[in-house]
Amino acid sequence: MEKVTPDSKQCNNFLLHNLILDTGITQQLVERVWRDQDLNTYSLLAVFAATDGGITRVFPNKAAEDWTENPEPFNASFYRRSLDNRGYVFRPPHQEALLRPLELENDTVGILVSTAVEFSLGGRTLRPAVVGVKLDLEAWAEKFKVLASNRTHQDQPQKQCGPSTHCEMDCEVNNEDLLCVLIDDGGFLVLSNQNHQWDQVGRFFSEVDANLMLALYNNSFYARKESFDYQAACAPQPPGNLGAAPRGVFVPTVADLLNLAWWSSAAAWSLFQQLLYGLVYHSWFQADPAEAEGSPEARESSCVVKQTQYYFGPVNASYNAIIDCGNCSRLFHAQRLSNTNLLFVVAEKPLCSQCEAGRLLQKETHSDGPEQCELVQRPRYRRGPHICFDYNATEDTSDCGRGASFPPSLGVLVSLQLLLLLGLPPGPQALHVPARRL
């Protein structure tokens, strides 16, 4: 095993020095700042920092043991999103619709809040690290009332709701009349004032309240982008229960027997050819790997999969919007929180279930592909490069134009020719007929 030392050519000294520097800085951050703070006072489960040198520091140690994010910063979702967006990025724990809900009795749900550290040096903007905290879901749900205001119109002055003041939009926990939620830019539930929805944090909001999510989409709070994967692998569809009448006993005819004899002769000749080619090319005893019949790869088949991605639309705020449904209509207010990726929604709780609209789907679904008529109306053309790169000085032309060949064995070919010559029957001999004299 080769040991890579700092003097080796395979070692990048710049990355190594950056790693050592980030290790020392994050260690000082723990000793001088984080240890002096009481995380329970701010209802925090953990604080963390991730650097471009590849260091992820989590405090306290118990939170580091329960850390489920990727330890490599460039592979972590919160790190990339914080670098690509300004402000604070809220990220709830992701949940699939088919998985069991989060069990709050056994595990505390944490919401990641991260932002990039940004400063200017020499006229350039640098983002060397991402710092953040992990919020306690239950504790911050109690503080939800601070986000509410008594403003029901855009022109009215804003009045913040304190813990001891009364507001028209009261977002206390388990309020009997109002539903207050925070939804991120992808349409996933981040926080709710109803405790029966705490185990649904991280789900697509249409799976929690389909009627309200559809209203947000129709009011242009969200837009969507559909993409198709034409190289996906799907499980085969279960066969349908198709009934049929019982078939009678099949009686072959003379033509069927002759056809069977021809197929048998063709199969025997094909088998002989395969044997001959195997002896010539030494490939008779070479077996190709094959998948087992019961493996998942053998059961999957090629298909088209559609995935829908939701993102913030052009509308930032709306007041007194109505979900029209007769006696079951609901009133809601919605506003995007500045410097975050959150949408704050206050709505009346559903009074009845007669107005359940169709759910917006976000997960991958089997599809037949986009509508061909719509594609014809909006054609897309492949744009080529401005210039053609037909020459490169660093190109190795010795690797171009090579092909694979299978040279047969000379001994086998000569033996086959001798067998064919010796096995041929002798040809007819010429008869000598004396010429007649005229």
Q: pLDDT by residue (tens digit) across 246-289?
A: 555 556 566 665 666 666 777 777 777 777 766 666 554 555 55
**Could you tell me which residue, 46 or 417, shows the higher pLDDT?**
46
- Domain coordinates in residue numbering, the chain: 11-136, 143-236+297-380
CB–CB of 59/50 below 8 Å?
A: no
Instruction: Assess whether pLDDT exceeds 90 at residue 90.
Output: yes
- CATH code of the domain occupying 11-136: 3.30.450
Q: How far apart are CA 166 and CA 175, in angstroms?
A: 13
pLDDT at position 375, please? 79
Question: For the chain, how far is it from start to end, CA to CA, in angstroms?
Answer: 102
DSSP codes, 149-179: BS--STTSPP-BPPTTS--SS---TT-SSEE
Is the sign of the CA dihedral 116, 117, 118, 124 positive or negative? negative
- Contacts for 35 with CB less than 8 Å, ≥ 6 apart: 59
The partner residues of 310 in beta bridges, in order of sequence, read 224
- 272 membership: H or E segment, kind and range: helix 254-281
| Model pTM score | 0.68
List pLDDT tens digits, range 151-197.
Answer: 444 455 555 444 444 455 678 888 888 899 999 999 999 999 988 88
Q: How far apart are CA 395 and CA 409, in angstroms?
A: 36
